[in-house]
Structure 1
Amino acid sequence: MAMQAYCKKGAGMRVIALSEVTGDMTELVGGKAARLAELARSGERVPDGFCVTTAAHERGVVPRAEVAQAYERLGGGPVAVRSSATAEDLPDASFAGQQDTFLAVSGIADLLTAIEGCQRSLHDPRAVAYRDAHGIDHASARMAVLVQRMVDPVTAGVLFTANPLTGCRTEMMVEAAEGLGTAVVDGSATVERYILDGSPPAGAGLLTAERLDELRDSGRRLQDRFGCPQDVEWAYDRQGVLWLLQSRPITTLFPLPPETGRPAPRVYLEFGHVQGMRQPATPMGMSTLKSLVAAMLASFGLTVEITDIGGRLYGDLTDLARHPSTRKRLVKLMAVDFGPRAQAVMEHVLADPRFAPLPASGPGRTATGPALRTAARAATGVVRALARPEAARARLFREVERLRVGSAAPAGLDTAVDRLRYVRDEDPSASPDDIVWPIVAGMLAATLPASLLRGVAGPGEIDTVLGGMPHNVTIEMDLALWRLSQQATAHRHLLLTTPPHDLATAYVRGALPDIGLAAFLDRYGHRAAAEVDLGVPRWDEDPTPVFAMIANYLRVTDPEQAPDRRFARAAEAAEAACADLVARARRRRPVRGRIAGFLLRRARMLAGLREAGKFAGLYRLREMRRQLLLVGAELAERGLLGRPDDIMFLTLDETHAAVHDGADHRSTVAARRATYRRELRRQAVPVALLSDGTDVEAVLAPPPAPDGALRGVGAAAGRATGPARVVHDPATAHVEPGDVLVAATTDPGWTPLFLTAAALVTETGAVMAHGPTVAREYGIPAVICVPDATRRIRTGQLVTVDAAAGTVTLHPAPGAVEPSVIGEACAS
């Protein structure tokens, strides 16, 4: 039957020759067969074969006679039998190794058995789990089976048209082994690796320079044809002929930075982790974040272009890195504000001759006039706060309250046009000096003593002094939630046994007992995890995370582990350590000791304020979100959006076009939601990227770590042992008292979990970032910047967090040792 007739009648074609397959037949023959057929049609050398289609699988019986005929037409002999599911070789899900392949199958009986095995593998537990992890509907997945003439290879392997280890798009990587290419995939043989960087390849071992050139040319053609970097399986037969066995997208690469038209290479630093945010931002949230971060940097006299890469917030630091003056400040800036990982990559970038300093001109520099004015304001504001900290605190909290009151939308916002105008207008009341400079003063007072007391302060002593810090709005929020949970003990069974989402639904309906949650949300409902993203629901919209945290608090049964007592102990230890350290320093180094003592005392008065600026800014974000959701509701009623919160997947300009011109953005929203879901699954986000896609950290030599330990950076003093609890979403986290909390990152929306945790481990962060700061103030040890911690540590595994050593030790026999906190976390 001709393919056109098949399409018209909708009949099920059960077996089809590979030569008759076209690229648009994925639903019939699966992704693998469709792509190989496309390659063969374009002139690439692909082994001949046939496909047992999804129509055959849906009928549940292998068409034996048709398979036998097709096998005979192929010439019999050994064949490769390979799965070719419809949900396979996708741009974001390769299904590599998830479904079965059978090689060197001979004879019709064994062929039929192999085909049935491939069909069954659609429902293999590993394939089911893979679809679950990638959000693929099981009902939509169907299995075809590809049968191809078996190549008898001398050498086989894999070609990546972009370097999968570093992300560099200007390099290809070849892995080769003797015999079948499965030896490369399953690691059963010694593999040779070649990096093709554009220079003439140096052939050695299994592959000559000529064959490496041939592979590189093939890779270029395939990448051009499919429009993205490819993972290509290949084989050379005994006659020296190159065969292509598969080509699919490399699904692990982080997206490339956008083309700027400016001189390359360029270097981009990820800013989101500073706010404890590793998940992608919604498009609406990204548009707001860009302006917020740019304004923040401008207040320090820096002009940085902010860009969206993979839904994450990156800043182009190229011009700053090449500027003779500003490049000297970058490493120090990274150490204080961005953390050790960012510091290490920036040191590497500045040592790269491609980023050598250029004459000071062009965009992205510090503007002398604004910089001097900023410096003068900073000096005045910081000195004023250090001189009179109580007055500075009072001014700051007055300003926070003014911003809260002023964030309410004005009367008369009755239409989408009015509401959108309100969202797009700048906040006329913004005057940050009374907030910014007391916070800066507190951060300086907390960081400068370390250098003044070098050789006097022991490991972790200054961190102990910075524990139990007062005047922190996030700490106050967490303790308020703790008090609420204690008032709710009469409803303990209900709150512990009902899923948080169900509790939130009942609360919104007014069907829950009054536990005081309304008052808590009135004060803190504008907060959430990833709260700097305008597109993320606040707690007062969806209190599910709050109910999850209340349940965690209700699991605390030891009075000595009550969070308020732990915080009070940390504060007492801090005051005692401060007095002892200052006295000792003044004896050994009188001048430095006096200065350090002054700064440490000021730190305890001011450093807790660092959360207040963000806390205040969130009020306006919440109101902007409320107004945008009302605009979204109007657009949904007009049929221009599917539902109100779809508006968070548009930009402000696109929203303007919908409101004023009736632009229908439903297809745009659907595509962006799919991309957003895909990026939510991404576990590794580069700290810094080059314009060619290179993950800068991936080219650095990893620091040595003790046997059985992961290396990180100590950020909150102490040592604790307990079962690990790997958490990806605080909204559903179940944390038992004494668990070691392991997360990619944390922001203030996570901090209620700290109240029951024994220690904190994160993959990113800076010593002065939200998570470590709150950990210090609660008196729990923290080790940050532990690469791949959430993948290398398993929930339930016994671990020891040692902040002094900067290590996380993984114990070989989880549960063999009684979990306990070893000593007081804040003790010196």
Structure 2
Amino acid sequence: MRVIALSEVTADLVDLVGGKAAGLGELIRCGERVPDGFCVTTEAHRLGVIPTAEVVAAYERLGAGPVAVRSSSTAEDLPDASFAGQQDTFLDVTGSTELVAAIEKCWESLHSERARAYRDAREIDHRTVRMAVVVQRMITPTVAGVLFTANPLTGRRDEMAVDAAEGPGTLVVDGVARVDHYVLDGVARADTGCLTSAQLADLRATGERLQTHFGCPQDVEWAIDADGVRWLLQSRPITSLFPLPPRTRKPLPRVYLEFGHVQGMLRPVTPMGMSTLRTQIAAMLATLGVRVEIVDIGGRLYGDLTDLARDPTARRRLVKLLAVDFGPRAQAVMRHVLADPRFAPTAGRRARGRAQGAASLRTAGRAVVGILRALARPEAARRRMFEAVEQLRVRSAAPADLRTAADRLRFVQANDADDSADAIMWPIVAGMLAAALPTTLLKGLAGPDEIHAVLGGMPHNVTIEMDLALWRLAQDAGEHRHLLLDTPPAELAARHLRGTLPDVGMTAFLDVYGHRGIAEVDLGVPRWAEDPTPVFAAVANYLRVTDPRQGPDRRFQRASAAAEAALEELVGRARRRRPVRGSIAGFLLRRARSLAGLREAGKFAGLYPLRETRRQLLLIGADLHGSGLLDQPDDIMFLTLDEVHTVVHQGVDLRGTVTARRAVHRRELRRRSVPVALLSDGTDVETVLPAAPTGDGTLVGVGASAGRVTGPARVVHDPATAHVEPGDVLVAATTDPGWTPLFLTAAAVVTETGAIMAHGPTVAREYGIPAVICVPDATRTIATGQLVTVDGGAGTVTPHRPSAPTERDRP
């Protein structure tokens, strides 16, 4: 079929008519007013010849007047790809000759540079896409625009938004006209702008119908003609909205705080990773007396803080508690939430608060003993900790007698108590307290940047030791230098895994650190031992460092020496002005330098059992693949443990579930922005905060590591293949320990999220490189190659014009 009337089109014909025509056909079928038209199908495009006779006949049935000719590819107007403006539209096309020419131009636009780039960004195979073309009778509007059935700015699902302007709707969608903007929240309003209150009410009612019919929020183009008749020109899913929180029977509204960035992870977690992480995080918080439900929103970890926000006792310390791991962006949104009358303290919650307090008291005794022991004898605490880490590594290995998938699953599901937790946890907590308390003690005597300087070059950090070990590997490359520098990292990784790569020290490195990786707390993500591509990419970056003074080992030594000198000067000054406070602060800062570096050890240790769990799951996946229940072994990572149990013991075929979840996961991997906090109605809380004052273009964040550097920006989304030159300013949405090898060549670090005590800023301080965190939209505002100045003391990032001189003022 090469030409089909729009009235005959149904949603299941999308492969024949493309996304736009399928949407229009559905609008007609559900009774909406749509201009008459027809579709030149993908079958005609596949054949490569415009069926001129059929097109002309269909055109004449429309009345042979002016028509709109619009692209309708099989990849557009879908839930995860709108292709808005990526392919061509032609208006007021009159006559058969012009019509055929316009159809041909629509076909050609499928291969335009912008359309190809859009498909590349969404990993859509160019060979699979076909182009259909929609031809509709032209409507001459007096006013036209776009209706969003959910507010695209805030994410609220109980609001609609309308942009409208007099004249054709292209003035609105092309952004070339001044538009009237309306937010429809169900409240009656007076006539304003180019639309009457009656027209707005009609649009809202239309939006409600369409959202109900299509089952998701819609982006709707509409036009009102000279007779006052409202026409629908298009309806497609809004692809930019962050997913809604899951439905709950608990009292609304609710507030959810994003937890993943605490681990430097904004990418979506696999379903298997989510099923284990939710339990682990909730249990860890419960140990500290905090009850928080962990929920999956868009594949990200969010904590439901509603009960804490409404608890009369907990709310008083909630904002302060967020400072340590969540940072100022989370604190800002929580201040806003606590000021919202809907989250006011609720009568009857004090009793529940006491119950949580009782849970805290049960661990308080052990905590006090553990913290005081660590502060009194830090060397002994470190020794006990690393002994416990080694014991955990040994105990995490699976027994040799696991033979069947059922055996392996029982091992994975076992939840043995870990008697080494105290030896690992309390020295870490002691170090964090010792690093945090001096800020209050020295208020008025020293600024945060001075205290940060004291915390630089911190010893006993397993992540720093890992990075320096990789640096030594690069320095010892010798005759293999050019091999490692000039060969693509993926090829080096493949050769290493095949055993055909010369011995460059990678095997020894992975024996110690191969259980690590990017987003390493997600069970579904490969470890470096499975895919060392990111490690080889980091080695190539190290080999580009030609100035020995900029070697990571020298930088760490300088940072350590500078920190010790800063400690002596700061404590001496404080003791002269406030003897008691100065002495206590000095004690704590010295203990911080002995203990705070241990912060990475807890996660490092926890990755040992995670590695073994992943290994056993992949072996189960291989068994299920062999029996035809999975298409490939790692499909198991897109199931939960409970679902794997049903597959193993009941033979349930969940391959369709895996396929659907993989598609959602791929879509979410492309998302570059994740809300810090969400309300249950979908509101991105940051979008409703008062706008920060704009100035000279300087971006304002939070200083997390002192120093000032000017250099070219390097925006990195995937550290696995990142090329970072010495002196580059690394700009990323977030970082975790798997990113830190890039810090060895970077001159400074800028991130969109984070907390001062999080992994990335901690490592930046220990290398003595400036870091500014919590810079909103840094990866979109800053371009790779753009010269920027990072001031870690002031917490600012200043973009420069290309001609600006380069300076390097290092701490």
TM-score under structure 2 length normalisation: 0.98
Contact 2:485 2:540 in 1 (8 A): yes
- State the partner residue of 2:617: 628
Superposed counterparts of 1:53-202, under 5 Å: 53-202=41-190
Pick one of 571, 589, 604 that aligns with 1:600. Answer: 589
Residues 296/428 of structure 1: CA separation in 2 closer, same or farther (3 Å cut): closer
Partner residue, 1:616 = 605
Residues 724 and 793, structure 1, Cα contact 8 Å, conserved in 2: yes
Within 2, Cα distance between the matches of 1:732 and 1:644? 25
Equivalent residue in structure 1 for 2:258, among 270, 280, 293:
270
Alpha-carbon distance, 1:587 to partner: 0.9
Pick one of 758, 776, 787 that aligns with 1:798. 787
Match of 2:558 in 1: 569
1:541 deviates by 1.1
1:351 alignment counterpart: 339
Alignment of 1:759 with 2:745, yes or no, is no
Tell me the distance in 1 between the aligned counterparts of 2:45 and 2:319: 59
Of 622, 630, 649 in structure 2, the residue corresponding to residue 660 of structure 1 is 649
Letter in 2 for 1:424: Q
- Partners in 2 of 1:482 and 1:608 — Cα distance? 19
Q: Shift of the alpha carbon at 1:427?
A: 3.1
Q: Which residue number in structure 1 is paired with residue 519 of structure 2?
A: 530
How big is each residue's C-alpha offset from its partner over 1:10-47, in whole Å with a ceiling of 9 and x where there is no partner? xxx22222222233221221111121122112211000
AA partner of residue 261 (structure 2): H
Alpha-carbon distance between aligned partners in 2 of 1:262 and 1:610, rounded to the nearest angstrom: 36
| Shift in alpha-carbon separation, 1:769–1:459, aligned structure 2, 3 A | closer
- For residues 285 and 312 of structure 1, what CA distance do their matches in structure 2 show? 10
Q: Partner of 1:546: helix, strand, or coil?
A: helix
Which amino acid is the alignment partner of residue 115 of structure 2?
Answer: A
**Corresponding residue for residue 238 of structure 1:** 226
Residue 202 of structure 1, CA deviation: 3.5
Quick one: percent identity of the two aligned structures? 73
Equivalent residue letter for 2:773: I
Task: Give 5+ residue unaligned stretches, structure 2.
Answer: none
Q: Within the alignment, does 1:49 sit opposite 2:37 as a pair?
A: yes
CA distance in 1, matches of 2:267, 2:548: 36
Equivalent residue of 1:24, what SS? helix
**How many angstroms apart in 2 are the aligned matches of 1:553 and 1:365?**
53
- Do the aligned partners of 1:157 and 1:175 also contact (CA within 8 Å) in 2? yes
Residue number in structure 1 paired with 2:301:
313
Aligned length: 810
Match of 2:276 among 260, 265, 288: 288
2:110 counterpart SS class:
helix
Partner of 1:6: none
Q: CA deviation at 1:705?
A: 4.7
Given that residues 85 and 142 in structure 1 are in contact (C-alpha distance below 8 angstroms), is that contact kept between their aligned partners in structure 2?
yes
| Cα separation, partners in 2 of 1:151 and 1:347, compared to 1, 3 Å | same
* Greater Cα offset, 202-211 or 636-645: 202-211
What residue number does 1:583 align with? 572
Does 2:698 correspond to 1:704?
no
Quick check: 2:311–2:353 contact (8 Å CA) kept in 1? no
TM-score (norm 1): 0.96
Written as runs of structure 1 = structure 2, the 5 A alignment for 1:108-507 is 108-361=96-349, 366-458=355-447, 460-507=449-496
Change (3 A) 1:126 1:765: same
How far apart are the structure 2 equivalents of 1:353 and 1:431? 44
Please, which of 526, 530, 540 is the counterpart of residue 541 of structure 1?
A: 530
What is the rounded CA distance, in whole Å, between the counterparts of 1:113 and 1:298 in structure 2?
Answer: 68
Whole-angstrom CA distance in 1 between matches of 2:261 and 2:788: 24
Deviation at 1:375, TM superposition (A): 2.5
SS of match in other structure, 1:47? coil
Task: Find the aligned partners of 2:523 and 2:53 in 1 and give their Cα distance.
Answer: 60
Amino acid of the residue matched to residue 336 of structure 2? H
Deviation at 1:385, TM superposition (A): 1.2
Q: Which amino acid aligns with 1:483?
A: R
Q: Does 1:685 align with 2:690?
A: no
Deviation, 1:430, is 4.2
- Secondary structure at the aligned position of 2:4 is classed as strand
Shift of 1:820: 4.5
User: 1:757: how far off?
Assistant: 0.5
Change (3 A) 1:364 1:451: closer
Following the alignment from structure 1 to structure 2, what is the Cα–Cα distance between the partners of residues 368 and 359?
17
Q: Does 2:695 align with 1:725?
A: no
Matched to 1:658, the amino acid is V
Deviation at 1:139, TM superposition (A): 1.5
Deviation digits for residues 109-131 of structure 1 (CA, Å, limit 9, x no counterpart): 22222111111111111111111
Kept in 2, the 8 Å contact 1:446–1:607? The answer is yes
The partner residue of 1:40 within 20, 28, 36 is 28
Which SS does the other structure have where 1:515 is aligned? coil
Greater Cα offset, 50-59 or 607-616:
50-59
Whether 2:637 is the aligned partner of 1:648: answer: yes
SS in structure 1 opposite 2:699? strand
SS, match of residue 219 in structure 1: helix
Say whether the 8 Å CA contact 2:325–2:754 is kept in structure 1.
Answer: no
| Shift of residue 368, structure 1, vs aligned partner | 3.2
Q: Which residue of 1 aligns with 2:627?
A: 638
SS at match of 1:658: helix
2:576 partner amino acid? R
8 A Cα contact 1:324 1:360, kept in partner: no
SS in structure 2 at match of 1:244 = strand
Contact 2:313 2:353 in 1 (8 A): no
Asked whether the 8 Å contact 1:276–1:746 carries over to 2, the reply is: yes
Cα distance in 2 for residues equivalent to 1:387 and 1:765: 31
CA contact (8 A) 1:545 1:731 kept: yes
1:10 alignment counterpart: none
For each residue in 1:712-750, what CA deviation from the matched residue of structure 2 results, as whole angstroms up to 9, or x when unmatched? 111111111111111111111111111100111000011
Structure 1: gaps of 5 or more residues: 1-12
Q: How far 1:329 moved relative to its partner?
A: 1.6
CA distance in 1, matches of 2:567, 2:319: 29
Q: Is the 8 A contact 1:781 1:801 kept in 2?
A: yes
Alpha-carbon RMSD:
1.3
